[in-house]
Amino acid sequence: MPTFTTRPELRGSFGMVASTHWLATAAGMAVLERGGNAFDAAVATGFTLQVVEPHLNGPGGDLPIVFWSAERGEPLVLCAQGVAPAAATIERFRGLGHDLIPGTGLLAACVPGAFDGWLTLLRDFGTLALEDVIQYAIGYAEHGYPVVDGITMTIERSEPLLRKWPASAELYLPAPRPGARFRNPALAATYARIVRESRGGSREQELDRARDLFYRGFVAAAIDEHSAAEGGLLTGDDLAAWRATLESPVPYDFRGLTVCKAGPWSQAPVFLQQLALLDGFPLDEMSDAERVHVITECAKLAFADREAFYGDVDDVPLLQLLSADYNAERRGLVGDDASRELRPGGGRLPKFVADSHKVATTVGAGEPTRAGSVGGKAADARPEDRVAFRAPGGDTVHLDVADRFGNFVSATPSGGWLHSSPVIRELGWPLGTRAQMFWLEEGLPSSLRPRTRPRTTLSPTLVLRGGEPELALGTPGGDQQDQWTLHVFLNHVVHGMNLQEAIDAPEHHTDHFPSSFYPRQARPASLSLEARFGDSVAAELRERGHEVEVTPEWSLGRVTAVGRDREGFLRAAANPRGMQGYAAGR
């Protein structure tokens, strides 16, 4: 008897799109149906997500993409993570009285990278014009779309903040009810103007002109004026000096597969470090409790190295961190009991880290995706284990696309959330706050330095078999991204689940290490565990010393995935948690 899943694993031969919102998935599929390739479809999906999930991403945000170009025959990373302003220095922030970069407001703004990221992907790998792929986003912004619960809850929770920002209050207050039609005419007008004023010449010329309108034209001018008026550091010159870049991924071989991730300017290699540690354990022979324990303890070690080594610097020792000898030694630190220590294998931890778990959270702080009580009630957990569940805050979206031509795309856009900073009235959206991931301490790999990238949590994944793409997957979730995605990967590769089974399986994560978001708190030995694991698993993990918090049955993660099996069929799956992710294909 087949295992029950919340929806089928899709299979076909034409194309697959999976994303965190059904309207964005439909837009991407529409582009495939009209003859576009996976890159065209990804851009349409990404722009639509900016409109229909404004609480999770926007035009002012960031974007990493890991993809396979069938024409080039190689995996690539497109880095559209904008850099800190030229005026952003540790001295400047210290002079303003900050020990940490704030989680909201203009001081935390970096160059908005998503627009150039999508246009670079479209220009260099796509086939369609900008108008062909952005029309869906413009249409939903102009004519409206149904509000999902997360938008309403985010606005309600952020109302005191939004009321301080007149343009934000005008756009978002009072909070629209779930299911209501919501429009953003200023955003629609911004993108429509870019399309209109970029017309003429070849497709590539139109795209280059569109990019200039954003980074050197009327958009940059509006950002420059807005930032200056609000006390920000970002200028038009910062936008004009920046471009998205193409890079080679960091690969790691695991059980016949090659996992490709972005470099250590992001947290992405922590996925690979966890694999390197876990490869020495018989995961397929373990009980649920033992497996969760080992995975959690390995995550603590890998994320400790993230804190000590990762950043936008040239000397991150990845070869050592992924080496067999290093991981054999580190694997020996995994014992029968939960560790409460943060134990990097070298480097230097920020001084703030030791006390970061003592700092209370504040409005506007980033947090992982937790789907509230949707799909399960906090009351389902034992009273002593219940935790407070809030609407998703500053978070993320994700999309994966595969086409009949052999192209694969995995992208994780984020930032520019509706509550991140004041809406720029004439543009219809706010800037992001990714600079909060820098440290205001000299000499660290992730210390604030002008015109460098913050160590983003955004982390899409591409997997190859025999040098050909087999799987693309990812999730929102901040620091949890490379835990939840890893667990789905292990469910599929080690435990033989299909993609939908792997996504539906009970989830868990730890917040043992410092958060990447203001106020950078940590929760040593914490372990969030979906209630579907059962009381006996929770009890055994508690006996091992884990601070277990039982969450509702369907509350952790929003992983989506597309793949290709050994028969050549394309596959796709999406997450039921939050009740809005969807996959489509044929």
Q: Are residues 380 and 285 in the same domain?
A: yes
Q: Are residues 427 and 550 in the same domain?
A: no
pLDDT at 338 over 60: yes
Q: Are residues 301 and 359 in the same domain?
A: yes
* Residue 537 phi, psi dihedral angles, 5° rounding: -65, -45
Q: Are residues 236 and 265 in the same domain?
A: no
Q: What is the CATH number of the domain that holds 260?
A: 3.60.20.40
Per-residue pLDDT reduced to its tens digit, 97-144: 999 999 999 999 999 999 999 999 999 999 999 999 999 999 999 999
Domain presence at residue 514: yes
DSSP 503-540: HHS--EE---SPPSSTT----TTEEEEEGGG-HHHHHH
Encoded tokens for 270: 């922590």
Confidence of residue 372 (pLDDT cuts 50, 70, 90): very low
Q: Pick the last residue of a domain from 437, 470, 495.
A: 437
Q: Are residues 282 and 229 in the same domain?
A: no
In a 3-state reduction of DSSP, which class is residue 227? helix
Tell me the residue range of the domain where 164 lies.
20-61+82-245+413-437
DSSP 483: H
Confidence of residue 355 (pLDDT cuts 50, 70, 90): low
* Residue 150 phi, psi dihedral angles, 5° rounding: -60, -35
Element (H, E) at 191: helix 185-197
Encoded tokens for 392: 């998703």
DSSP 532-586: GG-HHHHHHHHHTT-EEEEEPTT-B---EEEEE-TTS-EEEE---TTS--EEEE-
Per-residue pLDDT reduced to its tens digit, 508-523: 999 999 999 999 999 9
Q: Are residues 493 and 531 in the same domain?
A: yes
Per-residue pLDDT reduced to its tens digit, 398-447: 999 999 999 999 999 999 999 999 999 999 999 999 999 999 999 999 99
Q: Are residues 229 and 332 in the same domain?
A: no
pLDDT at 544 over 90: yes
Domain presence at residue 564: yes
* Residue 178 phi, psi dihedral angles, 5° rounding: -55, 135
What value does the mean pLDDT take over residues 41-54? 98
Q: Are residues 90 and 225 in the same domain?
A: yes
Q: Are residues 261 and 184 in the same domain?
A: no
Q: Pick the last residue of a domain from 437, 469, 495.
A: 437
Q: Tell me which amino acid residue 369 is.
A: T
Phi-psi region of 35 (alpha: psi -120 to 50; beta: other; left: phi over 0): left
Residue 420's closest CA among 429, 438, 437, 433? 433
Q: Are residues 286 and 228 in the same domain?
A: no
Residue 554's closest CA among 297, 380, 382? 380
* Residue 505 phi, psi dihedral angles, 5° rounding: -60, 150
pLDDT at 377 over 50: no
Domain presence at residue 408: no
Q: Are 270 and 303 contacting, i.e. CB atoms less than 8 angstroms apart?
A: yes
Domain presence at residue 561: yes
Residue 376's closest CA among 184, 563, 204, 532? 532
Give the span between the Cα atoms of 573 and 585, in whole angstroms: 10
Q: Are residues 298 and 227 in the same domain?
A: no
pLDDT at 41 over 70: yes
3-state DSSP helix/strand/coil % of the chain, to nearest 5: 40, 15, 45
Q: Into how many domains does the chain fold?
A: 2
* Residue 341 phi, psi dihedral angles, 5° rounding: -100, 155
Domain presence at residue 276: yes
Max distance between CA atoms of the chain, in angstroms, equals 68
Q: Are residues 221 and 275 in the same domain?
A: no
Q: How far is CA 90 from CA 250, 351, 366, 439, in A?
A: 30, 15, 21, 8
In a 3-state reduction of DSSP, which class is residue 453? coil
Give the span between the Cα atoms of 75 and 79, in whole angstroms: 13
Question: Would you state the pLDDT for residue 1?
Answer: 64
Residue 435's closest CA among 151, 118, 113, 153? 113
Domain presence at residue 74: no
Domain presence at residue 148: yes
Encoded tokens for 547: 């601070």
Domain presence at residue 68: no
Q: Does the CA dihedral 10-15-19-23 come out positive or negative?
A: negative
Give the span between the Cα atoms of 269 and 249, in whole angstroms: 10
pLDDT at 390 over 90: no
